[in-house]
Amino acid sequence: METIDTMKGKRVALVTGAAMGIGLACAEAIAKAGYMTVLVDIKEPSEQARKLVEEGFGAVAYRCDVSDTLAVKEMIEWVVGKYGRLDAAHNNAGIQTPQRPMAEITDEEFDRTVAVDLKGVWNCMRYEIIQMLKQGSGAIVNTSSQGGVTGLPGQAAYIACKHAIIGLTRTAAIDYAAKGIRINAVCPGVIRTPMAEDLIHRNPELETELVRDIPAGRLGKPEEIANAVLWLCSPQASFVDGHALLVDGAFSIH
């Protein structure tokens, strides 16, 4: 089912949080695999995202705040209006909460984290699924984290959302498995992206500490998450559904 082409012969995908980091790497991999790919982000496309669009890899940038339900609805309607369908979606946009013990995180910080990291995925999934039900096919990948299966210090709001994404993924996968829609999560370890660089910049000893806990002995690369996401979206993963795929250099299992 997932190999059905559009009239122009291309499958259609969207990636959120695609201006940089993991989202950009995933959008690049998906576009280069032949999907018409919409790069969704809250901000203007980065230089690299613009390059991907200009290089003619069938990519286009769209500005949208995933925490805004109406904006997400309009974004999915725009994608379907322009390209006719939606075959794959990677709901990846996310933010970090300032690192502090739970009781020191403010209500405003908690609410914004939930709005982007959890409600953002919820919003996107809802409208993606509405379209995929019309087609009778589709694959969705939600970005959770290694922190979706473990606790991590000082990140209570963020970790709560990442756990919730796995529960949401599993439940929705069951709801729609018989309708031709597969829904999985990817759980990255520490990946060298602007988000991780920002944390390391604020605490230079963090990288050494982090690497000490990663059996693979290094941070991951955005491309390593992109390979997993591309596979989860592909027909090669046709019986993989409701799975939370750890890509973390064995951090969470040691």
With CB under 6 A as the contact rule, the residue among 34, 84, 180, 194 that binds ligand NAP is 194
Residue 37 structure tokens: 């790919």
Name 74's Cβ contacts closer than 8 Å, sequence gap at least 6.
Answer: 64
Identify which of residues 154 and 194 has a Cβ nearer to ligand NAP in the complex.
194
Indicate if 158 belongs to the active site. yes
Give residue 152's Cα distance to chain centre. 20
Query: Quick check: 113 binds ligand NAP (CB under 6 A)?
Result: no
Identify which of residues 135 and 189 has a Cβ nearer to ligand NAP in the complex.
189
Residues in the interface with ligand NAP (CB under 6 A) total: 28
First to last CA, the chain: 38
User: Which position has the token pair 């950009």?
Assistant: 24
Among the listed residues 217, 165, 219, the one whose alpha carbon sits nearest the alpha carbon of residue 189: 219
Query: Quick check: 188 binds ligand NAP (CB under 6 A)?
Result: yes
With CB under 6 A as the contact rule, the residue among 12, 14, 19, 229 that binds ligand NAP is 19
Query: Quick check: 93 binds ligand NAP (CB under 6 A)?
Result: yes
Q: Cα 122–124–125 angle (5° rounding)?
A: 65
Query: Quick check: 52 binds ligand NAP (CB under 6 A)?
Result: no
244: β partners = 185
Are 188 and 220 in contact by the 8 Å Cβ rule? The answer is yes
Q: Give the range of 2-10, 40-48, 177-185, 237-245 binding ligand NAP by CB under 6 A.
A: 40-48
Q: Which of 35, 83, 127, 158 is catalytic?
A: 158
Query: Quick check: 42 binds ligand NAP (CB under 6 A)?
Result: yes
Q: Give the range of 3-11, 63-71, 130-138, 175-183 binding ligand NAP by CB under 6 A.
A: 63-71
Cα–Cα distance, 130 to 133 (Å, whole number): 5
Cα–Cα distance, 154 to 157 (Å, whole number): 9
Name 211's Cβ contacts closer than 8 Å, sequence gap at least 6.
Answer: 217, 218, 219
Query: Quick check: 141 binds ligand NAP (CB under 6 A)?
Result: no
Query: Quick check: 58 binds ligand NAP (CB under 6 A)?
Result: no
The site for ligand NAP (CB under 6 A) is made up of: 16-17, 19-23, 41-43, 65-67, 92-95, 116, 120, 143, 145, 188, 190-191, 193-196
Write out the catalytic residue numbers.
Answer: 158
